[in-house]
Amino acid sequence: MLNNKFLNTKETAIAMGISTSYLRKLERLGLPYHQLSTNSYKYFRLDEINDWLKKEGFIRKTTWRKKV
């Protein structure tokens, strides 16, 4: 699942098996993303996302969820 390719929001959600609304919730929690300017689209790298999820204590069952 590691990939250095930049993905847009929809592509990232599909690759992770989650909804775009859940991806936006993860953004508010600190999920790393890239933007060319403050008004541009957000882009993601799956390798950075996986590292962040593990660091923040998320586990994958069917989708990524916070450990309880």
Tell me the pLDDT tens digit for each residue of 29-53: 999 999 988 889 999 999 999 999 9
**Sole residue written with tokens 């969820």:** 65
Name the token pair of 15. 């690759």
CB of 15 closer than 8 Å to CB of 46:
yes
Q: Is the pTM of this model over 0.85?
A: no
User: Mean per-residue pLDDT for 43-68?
Assistant: 84
Question: Could you tell me which residues come within 8 angstroms of residue 24 by beta carbon, excluding any fewer than 6 positions away?
Answer: 9
pLDDT at 23 over 70: yes
Q: In angstroms, rounded to a whole number, what is the distance separating the alpha carbons of residues 51 and 41?
A: 22
Pick from 13, 6, 12: nearest CA to 36: 6
CB atoms within 10 A of CB 7: 18
pLDDT at 62: 66
